Amino acid sequence: MLVVLCGPPCTGKSAIGADLESRFGFIHLEVDAIRQRILPDSDQNIEDRNTAYRAMHLIAQLLLHQGATVVVDATYYRELHRKELAAILKTVDTQTALIQCKAPLDVVLARFKSRSPEHAALDLTEDLVRELWTNFVYSSDGLTIDTSQPSDVDLDRDDSLGLWVAMK
């Protein structure tokens, strides 16, 4: 199974990905961490971001072919990245769950300001976070969750997705 976590920066994608990894043993692939690992001296330009997305998608594809459950964690703000993921999904027979993270702007900005200076997304500024939050387009195809408050989202079954999410 492939779990796609997307949404603007600081909306809780990585926290949910880490939770899925620890609770269920899923493989959590975070695009910023991959970029930092494969391009440690990156100035985080668009080409380096595109390379990191391609690397994450390739790793996910290989793991899915082996039957693993994989969580990909990225904004998926750009259409190019969404199209690349869709192309990979055509090569793999697996269920897919789309989880879109959302939080009020004041919460997102507070999270941004409290981030560690070592966070992988060093290119983010408060203005860019605000812009990405304002312009993010949520899909009606997935589950959108408000991550501003702790919640016990039932990841085992979500009827709004119209499918059983095999989380156990």
Q: What is the pLDDT of residues 139-154, one digit of tens each?
A: 888 899 999 876 555 5
For residue 61, what pLDDT is reported?
97
Residue in the block written with tokens 């027979």: 93
Q: Residues 122, 31, 164, 161: is their CA dihedral positive or negative?
A: positive
Structural domain of 50: 2-164
For residue 75, what pLDDT is reported?
93
In this structure, of 90-104, 105-119, 140-154, the range with the lowest mean pLDDT score is: 140-154
Return the CATH number at 36: 3.40.50.300
For residue 124, what pLDDT is reported?
81
| Whether pLDDT at 24 is above 70 | yes
What is the distance between the alpha carbons of residues 133 and 10, in angstroms, rounded to a whole number?
9
State pTM to two decimals.
0.85
Q: What's the structural domain count of the chain?
A: 1
What is the distance between the alpha carbons of residues 28 and 18, in angstroms, rounded to a whole number?
7
Per-residue confidence band for 121, with pLDDT thresholds at 50, 70 and 90: low
What is the distance between the alpha carbons of residues 145 and 53, in angstroms, rounded to a whole number?
23
Beta-bridge partner residues of 163: 158
